[in-house]
Structure 1
Amino acid sequence: MIPERYDAIVVGSGQGGTPLCRALAEAGMRTALVERVHVGGTCINEGCTPTKTMVASARVAYLARRGADYGVQTGSVSVDLKRVRERKRAIVDKFRNGGQARLEKTENLDLIFGTASFTGTKTLMVRVKDGERLLSAERIFINAGTRAAVPPLEGLNSVPFLDNASIMELESVPEHLVILGGGYIGLEFGQMFRRFGSRVTIVHRGEQLLAREDADVAEEVAKILREDGVEVLLSVKTERVSCAGERIRVEVRDGSQGRTIEGSHLLVAIGRTPNSDTLN
C-alpha cells in the first residue's frame, strides 16, 4: 500500500490536537487529523463540558431544596435524570459539531475518522469505516488522551460498574451510589449525585482526599461533602466486589476491621490510563 503523504499528522482531536492541527494547516502545512470517535476529545465529550452541565443541574436541585432557608417555598423537589441527560447531550452536540465544522472548513487539513497505529517511525495505519489508510509524515503529534483506569480488583469484571462516561448516561437517580476513588472525578460525581438525591459513599484508600492538594484544602473539601450528606471513608482498602441480587456489595478493610457496603450502583474513579498504549 502506497502511503498518503502529509507534512504533519495529529492523532487525537482533544484540547491540544485541535488547535495544533489548525495552526499547522494555516501555516501552509498539509495536515491530517486522525480522530477515533468524536471531535473535541475527553473535555468536550466526556469531561469538562458534560460534567459541568450536569453539575449546574445538581446545583439547581440543591438550591431548590434549600429554598425555605431563603424564604422561598418550593414544595417537593424531584430530579428527572433523563431530562438532565437530554440537556447535557444537546450542549455537547452543539460544542462538538461546531468544532468539527471549523475543522472541515480549514484549508490544508483533512479530518479522518478512524483508529491509528504506528507501522513505522513516520507511518500510521488508520482503520476507517470502509477499510484502511496508510499515512506518512515527517512530523507526527500524539494527542491520544486518556480513558478511565480499571483496577485489578477481585470481582470487578462480574459487576456492572460505571465509569466517568457511563454514569452520565443513567436514566434515573441511583438509590445508593458507591464511589471508589477520592480524586477530582469521584468527588465531582459524588457531590453531584448527592444533590440529585442519591445516598453517596466515597471509598478512598489514602489518608486524605485529593492526594496532590495540601492537607488543609483536602480537609475542607471533605468537610463540605460531609455537610452535603456524603459519607467519606478515608484510609480504607477495597478488597473485592460482588453482586447481591440487583445490588452491588463492596467489601472494604479499615485497618483490622472489615466492612461490607451494599449499594445500587458502583462508580470506579481511581484515575486515568493513557490511550497511547493503543498506538503500537
Structure 2
Amino acid sequence: MLEKIQETAAFLSERMHTNPETAIILGTGLGSLVHEITEKYEINYKDIPNFPVSTVEGHSGKLIFGKLGNKDIMAMQGRFHFYEGYSMKEVTFPVRVMRELGIKTLFVSNASGGTNPTFDVGDLMIITDHINFFPEHPLRGKNIEYGPRFPDMSHAYSKELIQKAMEIAKEKNIKVQHGVYLGTQGPTFETPSEYKMFHTLGADAVGMSTVPEVIVANHCGIKVFGISVITDLGVIGKIVEVSHEEVQKAADAAQPKMTEIMRELINRA
C-alpha cells in the first residue's frame, strides 16, 4: 500500500507548483469555499493513479490547489464513503497521500443529524471528539510507519484550533454549538431508537463520514479541525422523515456561516 501512496504523491508532486501545508475536505456545507480559492489549478480524481472516484450525487471529484487568503491549500472536492462500497483503506487513501505531500493541518466538514435536544436544524457544531461506530477500522492491518501501531486519540481534534474557531464565531456573531460526533456506516438514516441509543452513548450528532479520515490524519501526525452542520434532528418529538435532498438543502442554507468561520480559521492557523 505504501508504494501506491508514494506513486500517487509523486504523480501529484510533478503537477503541483505550490507547497500547501493545509488541506480541506470540502464536505457538505463547505462547497462554496471552492469559489474563494484563487490562483487555482485542478486535477480530476479519475486522472490520479490509485485514487477512488466518488459515486454520491452532489459530490464532485477533484483535487483543487491554490490560495485561500494568503495560505497555499489543497482541497478535496468530493470525499469517499464506506457506504459506497470502498474499503477503509480506500476511504482514507487521500489523507495518507496528503501526509506524503507535506500537509500539516486538515480541515473537515460534514452533514449530521443532531441528537442533542438543544440543537436546531442549521446549527454549526464544532467537533470536540468522536465515537467510532464503523465496523472496520482504517488502521487495521500492517502498520504503515507514519505513526505508532497504537496511536493516541486523546486529542483527535486540535484544542488550539477549536479555541480559535470559537473566538472567530464570537467575533462574527455566529452561533456555534460544540459536541461529540458519532460516525456510522450508513447509508440509512438512523431510526428513532438508534438516535436515542447514540445520544445515550454520548453523541451530540451522528453522520456517515469524517471519523476514518480523522483517525488516519492523527496517525500521520496531522492536526485536525472538524465542523458539522446539523441538517436534521434525531430528538424524540422532533424526528421527521428525512431525505438526502433535504439534508443538502439545510446544509446549503448554513454554508455562508461555515465558510466564514473556515476561511478565517485557515488563515489564522
Query: Do the structures match in fold with TM over 0.5?
Result: no
TM-score (norm 2): 0.28
Q: Higher relative contact order by CA 8 Å / sep ≥ 6: 1 or 2?
A: 2
TM-score (norm 1): 0.27
Larger radius of gyration: 1
Q: Name the structure with the higher strand share.
A: 1
